[in-house]
Amino acid sequence: MAKLELQQNLIGHKGIVWNVSWHPLGNMFSSCGEDKIIKLWSKEGDKWVTKTVLVDGHQRTIREVAWSPCGNFLASASFDGTTAIWDKKSGQFECNATLEGHENEVKSVSWSPSGNLLATCGRDKSVWVWEVAGDDEYVCEAVLNSHNQDVKKVVWHPTSDILASSSYDNTVKVYKEDQLDSDWTCIATLHSHDSTVWSLAFDKTGKRLATCSDDKTVKIWQSYGPDNQEGVIVDGEDATWKCVCTLSGYHTRCIYDISWCHTTGLLATACGDDILRIFKEADDSDPNAPSFDLICTKLNAHSQDVNCVQWNPSGNGELLSCSDDGEIRIWKFIME
């Protein structure tokens, strides 16, 4: 049997907590929400405590926070239309750059694995790619208008500069930069969800993508390159993404977030039914038609919608979640 054990309940935000983000080392995390502040948490003894509070960066709700891969920078995306970059070059965390360009709410921000690129997206239906040009300097490399409704989330491939976005238009798009003319283009559109795709997560290899939606399903997509042995037709040199698994009948309301652990391969979901769920790929799973088992259901993980879930990147089985109820919870996944 597998279970999620509550390690600590963290109260510190007023109103909805929209997002939590682990520092790449897994010994610190940041949180944000409706109260327009960012909190940085780390351990004192065996208890997690607020170490720093970042205020005055944004005028409206802060929707998402993301650490750079080096762990020195924190990006925050806000409904005020801006993305702020924080660092502690001066000794304490300060906002040293603000990315402006989106017409209204910015909903997601993500750093590329190299840390040289940033992506943002928002209600104006666009995805922006920014280059880190130097000290506190960020230059817009591309504005991608492939979606026809607001874009909910942007996520980078774990090892290469490939970007994926999910949207209110029910699709997921994949982009990359053309090496010849350095133009960013949409190289794949993933159709299958029947409603808003709220979030997405790559597996460790980047060959699989998990998406979660308002249609109450999770879908697993697999990429097939031009020289694939399975006979999947590929147009040109960009991989084809195929939906190879749909997890339906488990979630009873909108699924807001999904996290794919790069150490254990476990999938965790955050749902509007207040439940956290853990899925594991079956041992006899067919690589081209994988099956996943629900191995853990944490009822009433929060008293309201769970908005975000994230595995500790160190692979220690710690799981962070946050909710409309204003709380952040740290769980330990235990396989017995």
Number of residues binding to other proteins, judged by CB under 8 A: 25
Element (H, E) at 313: none
168 versus 224: smaller Cβ distance to other proteins:
168
Total Cβ atoms within 10 A of residue 317: 18
92 versus 148: smaller Cβ distance to other proteins:
148
Q: Is residue 51 near other proteins by the rule CB under 8 A?
A: no
65 exposure class (CB count in 10 Å sphere: 0-12, 13-18, 19+): buried
Angstrom distance (rounded) from CA 326 to CA 322: 7
Structure tokens at 172: 């997921």
Scanning residues 194 to 233, which ones bind other proteins (CB under 8 A)? 195-196, 214
Q: What is the pattern of x (binds other proteins, CB under 8 A) and - over residues 249-288?
A: ----xx-----------------xx---------------
CB of 268 to other proteins, least distance (A): 20
CB of 330 to other proteins, least distance (A): 22
214 versus 281: smaller Cβ distance to other proteins:
214
Angstrom distance (rounded) from CA 102 to CA 81: 6
Angstrom distance (rounded) from CA 255 to CA 196: 10
Stretch in the footprint of other proteins (CB under 8 A) among 134-142, 176-184, 277-285, 303-311: 303-311
CA 224: distance to chain centroid? 23
CB of 304 to other proteins, least distance (A): 6
CB of 310 to other proteins, least distance (A): 18
User: Considering only residues 23, 39, 58, 63, which one is a binding residue for other proteins as defined by CB under 8 A?
Assistant: 63
Q: Is residue 124 near other proteins by the rule CB under 8 A?
A: no
Angstrom distance (rounded) from CA 160 to CA 163: 9
User: Considering only residues 324, 328, 329, 333, which one is a binding residue for other proteins as defined by CB under 8 A?
Assistant: 324
C-alpha dihedral over 7, 13, 19, 25, to 10 degrees? Answer: -50
Stretch in the footprint of other proteins (CB under 8 A) among 47-55, 57-65, 215-223, 284-292: 57-65
47 exposure class (CB count in 10 Å sphere: 0-12, 13-18, 19+): exposed
Angstrom distance (rounded) from CA 301 to CA 275: 5
Angstrom distance (rounded) from CA 189 to CA 172: 6
Which parts of this chain interact with other proteins (CB under 8 A)?
A: 16, 34, 60-61, 63, 79, 104-105, 107, 123, 150, 152, 168, 195-196, 214, 253-254, 272-273, 303-305, 324-325
